[in-house]
Chain A
Amino acid sequence: MPAFRVEVRVMPRAALLDPQGQAVSHALHALGFADVGDVRVGKHLVLRLEAPTRDDATARARAMCDRLLANPVTEDYELLVEAA
């Protein structure tokens, strides 16, 4: 069965306070990167999975995000699926 490399990008929902992003933004300003505006901190997961087709792999990855990898109350996610 073909293998796929799935990248999952999980980000705190835009409307929610992201204190980690704020802290990083402040630190960058303190280092002289005055051109930095809003910073948001999320998670990046990379997984390898086997599936008959790319669409199947995407569907499986989406199910994983909906059940575990992202919290639907607070986070949005994006998937990038490519042949491994």
Chain B
Amino acid sequence: MLRVAVVVFPGSNCDADTLDAARAAGSDPYYVWHRDTDLRQADAVILPGGFSYGDYLRSGAIARFSPIMPAVAEHARAGGPLLGICNGFQILCEAGLLPGALMRNARLRFLSRPVRVRVDATDTPWTRLYEPGETLVLPVAHGDGRYVADARTAAELEAEGRVVLRYRGDNPNGSTHEIAGVCNAGRTVVGIMPHPERRNAPELGGTDGARVFLSLEAGHATQHAGGVRALGGHHAGL
């Protein structure tokens, strides 16, 4: 059972769903207020979705300087699993922990609907239970979701297999290379625009997002219990 810190910024609004999803996956999650400075108890850290600081200036631009962020960067530097969902992804890009940036959707509309995404990288702590190339249906809810990176960075992400999720069917926001999620070079820091915490139970319309949180525990089980037996148990809990 991993200790998962869910960082709460002023304007976060997916923190409770994210905490629930981590708990449902067998983790021991807890909230960390953005003014805290300590993440030493955390095995993994999640920056949840929302509208930190009202998206003023740019989405994530001000949250990126919150007192907790040096600890988040240190956690990432030490190779700790770190996930940014939606606004959390925007914050990680603003902080330079992931490459690129998220800009206003190409057709300007705020999008809140399910989209199809393909899992292109399964060698991250957050996606290891997915099949490579598996297509998921997950909701997006964002106004600033157009992933932008210069040509060199985009080519590097492709060459290194660091595109974690990619939109399928249509490209809802005009993202470069249909990118819906990326990871860092060490593959432990992942940012995604869709909301897996909103699809982790049949009652929520699907379970495609559950394995994001189960993956974390599965990796832990593999490393510390020497097998995938615990993993099967978590699946049964779904």
Contacts and interface: CB of A to CB of B under 8 A. Distances in A.
Contacts of A69: 57
A10 B149 CA distance: 18
B101 A20 contact: no
Contact of A19 (B101, B107, B150): B107
B57 A68 contact: yes
A20 B108 CA distance: 7
Contacts of A23: 108
Given A17-B174, A68-B57, A68-B65, A73 B105 contact: no
Interface residues on chain B, size class: 20 to 34
Give the interface centre of A12, A19, A69 by most chain B CB atoms within 10 Å: A19
Given A73-B100, A74-B101, A17 B57 contact: no
A62 to B, nearest CB: 17
Contacts, number: 35
Nearest to B151: A15
B57 A73 contact: no
Contacts of B103: 12, 16-17, 74
B61 interface: yes
B70 to A, nearest CB: 14
B209 to A, nearest CB: 28
Interface in B117-162: 146, 148-150
Contacts of B105: 19
B104 A20 contact: yes
Given A68-B57, A68-B61, A68-B65, A73 B149 contact: yes
B106 interface: yes
Contacts of B99: 73
B178 interface: no
B57 A19 contact: no
Interface of B: 57-58, 61-62, 65, 93-94, 99-101, 103-108, 146, 148-150, 174
Given A19-B104, A71-B101, 18 more contacts: A16-B103, A17-B174, A19-B108, A19-B174, A20-B104, A20-B108, A23-B108, A68-B57, A68-B61, A68-B62, A68-B65, A71-B58, A73-B93, A73-B100, A73-B148, A73-B149, A74-B101, A74-B148
